[in-house]
């Protein structure tokens, strides 16, 4: 078999590809002026301010003065779809054996609704007074329900 010299156009293309590959390799392996590899550029995406069910409304993520934040799991997790951050709710303790309800907190501020897309693991973060918080601490056999209060006209 005889070797033939490539055509002039093909030879030119091969040389250009070789030059580009060598320059890309040198650029990738060349150290920066400080002796370290340069980090890729970082891009930041501006935050979009949209109210969501998991973000506190008008609270700035803070628990109001004189209150404590208490996480509460509801007996009926489907109710999480109806509650939003910023709502006021009445918290009721459900006494299972007796089938009665006991008021725990009145007009508690909902700071955050967690897991509203997965009600099996979700709950509420409520701003309660320290006395109300004592009664809202979960114990075995205790479950909770909420009644959503209407918004007060401003």
Tens digit of each residue's pLDDT (9 = 90 or more) over 15-74? 899 999 988 888 877 665 555 555 555 545 454 443 444 444 444 557 888 899 888 888
Domain boundaries, the chain: 68-148
Q: Name the strand (E) or helix (H) holding 143.
A: strand 142-148
112 to 7, 15, 35, 109: CA distances (angstroms)? 72, 63, 48, 9
Question: Is the pLDDT score of 110 beyond 80?
Answer: yes
* Close Cβ partners of 105 (under 8 Å, ≥ 6 residues apart): 90, 91, 126, 128, 129, 132, 135, 136
Sheet with strand 88-95: strands edge to edge: 68-72, 123-128, 100-114, 88-95, 142-148
Q: Supply the pLDDT for residue 32.
A: 56
Number of C-beta neighbours around residue 74 at 10 A? 19
Q: Supply the pLDDT for residue 71.
A: 87
């Amino acid at each position: 078999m005889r070797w033939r010299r490539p055509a002039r156009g093909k030879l030119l293309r091969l040389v250009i590809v070789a030059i580009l590959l060598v320059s890309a390799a040198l650029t990738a392996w060349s150290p920066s002026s400080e002796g370290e590899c340069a980090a890729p550029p970082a891009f930041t995406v501006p935050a979009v301010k949209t109210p969501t069910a998991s973000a506190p409304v008008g609270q700035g993520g803070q628990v109001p003065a004189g209150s404590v934040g208490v996480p509460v799991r509801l007996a009926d997790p489907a109710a999480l779809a109806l509650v939003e951050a910023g709502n006021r709710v009445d918290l009721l303790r459900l006494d299972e054996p007796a089938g009665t309800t006991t008021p725990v907190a009145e007009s508690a501020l909902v700071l955050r609704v967690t897991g509203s897309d997965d009600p099996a693991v979700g709950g509420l973060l409520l701003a309660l007074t320290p006395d109300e918080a004592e009664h809202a601490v979960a114990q075995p056999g205790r479950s909770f329900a909420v009644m959503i209060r209407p918004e007060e006209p401003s």
